[in-house]
Structure 1
Amino acid sequence: MNMMSVMTAIVGLGIAGGSAYLARDFVETQTAQPVVVEEQQLIEVIVASRDIPFGQPIEAHMLTTIEWPANSVPEGIYSDYASLLPQDGGEPRRARRAISQGELILAGKVSDYGEKVTIVQTLGPNRRAMAIRVSAETAVGGFVTPGDYVDIVLTQGRGTDLRAVTIMQNIRVIGVDQRSDEQSDTPEIARTVTVDVSPEQSQTLALAQQAGRLSLTLRNFNDSEDGPLQSTRLSDVLQDLSPVPDLDRPPTIVIRRGTQVTVQENN
């Protein structure tokens, strides 16, 4: 091996060794540096420790606190029991709607101290609450509960002129008798059902109740398509669906002799 090859090999080994040393030093330096993790600030917020029905007074045993990221707290939260619960002997706040266990207590979900909470507070702008007289037969056997959506059918007339027509579709039920808790799914036989309607629809319902009998049909929650429905008369239900005889064919006579059957035209 000549001197040039030896020198080249020595230089190569030197470069490789230096690179390895520098790489090891860099890794050790990076490992030695502490990893700085920014701790997220948390605050305590008040949530429901149990289900709170609509209209129920807010009491201390119904509440608890959890930690919540401070940068994602929604508006209207309560973090202090003193700002939510009344002073000794004072009138309580009430739930303006049903609050589920673990749900944040927000200002919009509770009333002011001593404020009366009624079904009216569940209505939207320019909406009305109106009661309909019902029975077990006309209210789906008692399976209509607050929060359901129904169609309203009017049955009116006498004899063969009796007819049924769907006068309203996709109407929200907000009360059954004196109960308005949407979390309840217990069937009961009601005498009145209160529905959420527009002012125009309330006039239609008032007339319809005087004109005939109103029945409710429960809707699927996923069924949102409505369309005009033609009324059905009793005569439509009782119509003769038997085949219509062919009047162009001459009448025939069927003659049976024991097991033999013959058909002949009656001229």
Structure 2
Amino acid sequence: MPASRLIILSVAVAAAGGAGYVAKKMVVPPPPVVESGKKQPSIPLQDVLVLSGDVPMGTTLGSNIGWERWPADNVNANFITRANDPEAVDQLKNSVARVAMYSGEPVRRSKLIGEGQSFMSSILPSGTRAVATSIAADTSAGGFILPNDYVDVIMTRRADAQNGGASSGFITETILKNIKVLAIDQTIQEDEEGKKTRVGQTATLELTPQQAEIITVAQQMADRLTLALRPITDAQEKVTDEADYLVSGNGRRGTVRLIKSGEISEVGARK
């Protein structure tokens, strides 16, 4: 073989070897395998009964409840869990909301009224009474008084003249103050977003037993009872004066209070 060919062949072999070496150096080595330790435990979860839709006060839960996974550390003792009440969906679907409830809110039994129970008696605080009184647009702030508002009850009656018995005008006084309105007719909450008002014929008020007696007497002796709407900022105001003279008897026992022609008198009760 001619020497020139041998030189060319040698150069080609050397070039191929050099190219292979360069290519080998350019290959990126795989990342080293890191031994992972023990896997961190996942957050423990529990199934919690949650509302899937808004439920207005006084309506049944229906199909608006279902199970959702919640972090176990965030589960309140008052929540209803599948672990403790696996049949809760079927048991509570006919329960009535005592207050307005909203989508995404965990269901609490304290906000529910059991199936077949009376709604009004269930929402009444202990020691109070629900008493209905007739109203109209001109005696209820033009129809703008709604459930959960607070009102004063004003009594207007004719004043008998001292001589001759002829009428001499009217007497007006506030007999009850800061009274909560439970319902207007059969409506126990505002219409959606409070946009609509409707003049009712009956307002149901939340009263103490003494206040219930006062308004019962006032309904018999008054020509008109008017509800005066109070600002919401006064809702927590403590009332110390009311027309308890209508029923108190001035602390004397054995007397009967008589109401005749708008005038109050007392006579001894027969034994």
Q: Does 1:163 align with 2:181?
A: no
* C-alpha separation in 2, matches of 1:131 and 1:57: 25
Task: Give the deviation of 1:82 after TM superposition.
Answer: 4.9
Task: Give 1:69's aligned residue.
Answer: 71
Partners of 1:165 and 1:229 within 8 A in 2 = no
Amino acid at match of 2:45: L
* C-alpha separation in 2, matches of 1:173 and 1:230: 17
Unaligned runs of 5+ in 1: 1-32, 232-267
Count of residue pairs the alignment pairs up: 196
Mark the CA change 1:42 to 1:165 in structure 2 (over 3 Å): closer, same or farther: same
SS in 2 for 1:200: helix
Task: Give the deviation of 1:66 after TM superposition.
Answer: 4.0
Mark the CA change 1:38 to 1:182 in structure 2 (over 3 Å): closer, same or farther: farther
Partners of 1:85 and 1:92 within 8 A in 2 = no
Task: Give the deviation of 1:176 after TM superposition.
Answer: 0.6
* C-alpha separation in 2, matches of 1:70 and 1:110: 24
Task: Give the deviation of 1:161 after TM superposition.
Answer: 3.4
Task: Give the deviation of 1:38 after TM superposition.
Answer: 7.7
Task: Give 1:105's aligned residue.
Answer: 107
Mark the CA change 1:183 to 1:49 in structure 2 (over 3 Å): closer, same or farther: farther
Partners of 1:84 and 1:93 within 8 A in 2 = no
Amino acid at match of 1:222: T
Partners of 1:94 and 1:115 within 8 A in 2 = no
* C-alpha separation in 2, matches of 1:143 and 1:182: 10
Q: Does 1:215 align with 2:226?
A: yes
* C-alpha separation in 2, matches of 1:164 and 1:195: 20
* C-alpha separation in 1, matches of 2:132 and 2:208: 13
Q: Does 1:190 align with 2:193?
A: no
Task: Give the deviation of 1:56 after TM superposition.
Answer: 1.8
Q: CA RMSD in A?
A: 3.3
Mark the CA change 1:37 to 1:121 in structure 2 (over 3 Å): closer, same or farther: same
* C-alpha separation in 2, matches of 1:56 and 1:153: 33
Larger displacement relative to structure 2 (220-229 or 94-103): 220-229
Task: Give the deviation of 1:162 after TM superposition.
Answer: 0.7
Amino acid at match of 1:41: P
Task: Give 1:200's aligned residue.
Answer: 210
* C-alpha separation in 2, matches of 1:216 and 1:127: 19
Q: Does 1:49 align with 2:52?
A: yes
Aligned pairs (5 A) from 1:235-250: none
Mark the CA change 1:210 to 1:107 in structure 2 (over 3 Å): closer, same or farther: same
Mark the CA change 1:117 to 1:71 in structure 2 (over 3 Å): closer, same or farther: farther
| Deviation by residue 1:96-149 (Cα, 9 ceiling, x = unmatched) | 33222322211122233x332421111111110000111111011111111111
Partners of 1:174 and 1:180 within 8 A in 2 = yes
Task: Give the deviation of 1:94 after TM superposition.
Answer: 2.4
Unaligned runs of 5+ in 2: 1-35, 160-166, 244-271
Task: Give the deviation of 1:42 after TM superposition.
Answer: 3.2
